[in-house]
Amino acid sequence: MFEATELSFTYPSGRRGLLNVSLSGNPGDRVVVMGPNGSGKSTLLRLVSTELRSWAGSLTLFGKESGASLPVQRKRIGIVQDTPVHVEDLTGLENALLFAELYGVGRAVAARAIETLFASLGLDEALHVLTKEYSYGMNKKLLIAEALVHDPEILILDEPALGLDPPSRAALLRILEERSGTGVCTLVATNEPSLAQELATTVVLLDEGEVVAQGSPSELLAKVGGATRIEVHVTGSATSAALAELPEDLVSIRRLPGRIVAESKTGPDALPRLVQAVLAEGFTIERIELREPDLTDVFTLFTGRTLGSKKT
Amino acid sequence: MTVVVWRTEWLTALRRRRLFLLNTLIPLAFVATIAFSPAPAVHSAAVFTVLFTLFGTFGSSIPLIRDGESGLLRRYILTGVHPAVLLFQHIFATAAIDLIQLTPSIFVLAIARGSSAAQLAMVAPAMVLGMIAANTLGTITAAVAKSVAEGALFSAVAALVLLHLSGAFRTPAPGTWQAVLEAWSPFRPLHESLLAATGAGGPDLETALLTLPIAATLAVLLLVAASGRHAAGLGGR
């Protein structure tokens, strides 16, 4: 469906957008791109959606070079941009019909599809409401409906769950999985590890325009060893070196300002021994956090930074 | 291809009732003030020509720039629809809306200056051509402008220069290069017909006066179509 090989893009200002990115999406694939702000996620999506049209490397859509038959390629793609934009003086239905007709879907067919989509997304009561009265989340759902109304073969979504309430988020995941089952290839950019883990067949981690890791969520999580992360938030200072001898079931212990971070092979079972050791060192424990590893830990493993931090 | 953009322009114009009313009443008040005054026809016609042309140019340019800035135009283009289709529907819809909003002004002008039916019959096609040309000009200025302020500036300057080249601000000089340009300008029939309707007489108004300006307008529309996404202001983005 789409294939990028050694794809690079530089903005007119000289800022690097992407550098030698290779990835592909086949029918039914759900490719999720993660990375910090400015890492190139949206640039990649804008290239695959044909919005940006000058690049180095190779980019094919539906087996042909991107842009080779632009109107046809565009009609086979559905796009959910990060910022929802609509004609404010039209209702939700009228906006959705506008985009359906621009995509070439007949009015009657589109009207039926829109009603179904609005119902699935919990937007049916806002069908005849002007979009200037819509909330951000409602606008986002309308954008999703508009991107799906022409049954695209490639679906591109930039932060699709941003602003959605939990039922709408669940509905979105359900719809994307259903579409995937019919052969739709989905390309998503997000910073939500849970969304990526729930949705992705392939995760691509981007940093400063380059791919730092790529694989299925389970493959990537295996790289961090599946260890439970225990964060003990402390006050005071160490008076002994009780933590110097690593308890057997802990993979690592790191002393950070105000906290001690440990990784456990045995999940919460290691907690009592760790607490004992921390107290023995002379610290006062304020609170303890346990977290299963997620894709942000994979990103940290490959870049040495958290997903939200900048390179120094 | 359906006329979905044309329909959207109409729907939004009719829903913004206050703006629609203001767009009708403000030119009307301006035209009435001058038409009922003893202002000479030659000056009145020039002012009306400027007013109607700027009305069309701004009305086309500013909404397009706003749609470009908000990302709406980009969304339209990414549906695979050819930019020329979008722009033509926009130009013809906004020109038609302008004509409806300016019709009361024309009637007030005719009443105030006692225009004949024949003169009004000439104003009608000249207004249609003038509004299509003004809205096309607005589309072109929107494509090169990077903000609403720039769009307003480019629209005003471009329209005034074209009006000058159409002979709206000077006496005719037959046989000169300016006269050749005037013959092709879509704003010349507008000026000439308004000149006649406000009581200055002027050259005989024949339908032949429209032929070259129609050809020039069609040529510019074809250029807009050929410019593709550049004409929609998305060339470098």
Q: Decide if pLDDT at B130 tops 80.
A: yes
Neighbours of A217 (CB within 10 A): 20
Q: According to the model, what pLDDT value does residue B234 have?
A: 54
Q: Decide if pLDDT at A131 tops 50.
A: yes
**Could you write out the three-class secondary structure of chain B?**
CCCHHHHHHHHHHHHCHHHHHHHHHHHHHHHHHHHCCCCCHHHHHHHHHHHHHHHHHHHHHHHHHHHHHHCHHHHHHCCCCCHHHHHHHHHHHHHHHHHHHHHHHHHHHHHHHCCCHHHHHHHHHHHHHHHHHHHHHHHHHHHHCCCHHHHHHHHHHHHHHHHHHCCCCCCCCCCCHHHHHHHHCCHHHHHHHHHHHCCCCCCCCCCHHHHHHHHHHHHHHHHHHHCHHHCCCCCCC
> Under a CB-based contact definition with an 8 Å cutoff, are residues B60 and B142 in contact?
yes
Q: Closest chain B residue to A73 measured between Cα atoms? A: B80
> Confidence band (pLDDT; 50, 70, 90) for B230?
low
Q: According to the model, what pLDDT value does residue B62 have?
A: 93
B80·A73 Cβ contact <8 A: yes
> Confidence band (pLDDT; 50, 70, 90) for B237?
very low
> Confidence band (pLDDT; 50, 70, 90) for A1?
confident
What digits encode the pLDDT tens for the residues A266-299?
Answer: 878 888 888 888 888 888 899 998 888 888 888 8
Q: According to the model, what pLDDT value does residue A274 have?
A: 86
Quote the tokens at residue A39: 């890492």
Integer Cα distance of B37 and B108 in angstroms: 12
Suggest the residue from A11, A73, A101 to mutate for an interface test with chain B (most B CBs closer than 10 A). Answer: A101
Integer Cα distance of A111 and A139 in angstroms: 18
Q: Does A83 contact B at CB distance below 8 Å?
A: yes
For chain A positions 127-146, those within 8 Å of chain B (CB to CB) are: 130
B72·A72 Cβ contact <8 A: no
Residue keyed to tokens 């591109």: A156
B81·A71 Cβ contact <8 A: yes
Q: Give chain A's mean pLDDT.
A: 89
Q: Closest chain A residue to B71 measured between Cα atoms? A: A85
CB–CB contacts below 8 A, A to B: 58
Give the CA radius of gyration of chain B. Answer: 18
Q: How far is A222 from chain B (nearest CA, A)?
A: 39
Q: Closest chain B residue to A94 measured between Cα atoms? A: B8
Suggest the residue from A50, A74, A91, A102 to mutate for an interface test with chain B (most B CBs closer than 10 A). Answer: A102
Q: Could you tell me the pTM of the whole model? A: 0.84
Query: Average pLDDT of A72-81?
Result: 94
Host domain of residue B227:
4-235
Q: Which of A21-35, A91-105, B222-236 has the lowest mean pLDDT?
A: B222-236
B70·A85 Cβ contact <8 A: yes
More confident residue, B124 or A229: B124
Chain B residues touching A131 at Cβ < 8 A: none
Output the CA torsion B204→B210→B211→B217 (10° steps): 150
What digits encode the pLDDT tens for the residues B20-75?
Answer: 999 999 999 999 999 999 999 999 999 999 999 999 999 999 999 999 999 999 99
Residue A291 forms beta bridges with which residues?
Answer: A229
> Under a CB-based contact definition with an 8 Å cutoff, are residues B197 and B110 in contact?
yes
Counting the structural domains of chain B, the total is 1
CA-to-CA separations, B183 to B44, B165, B191, in angstroms, rounded: 21, 10, 12
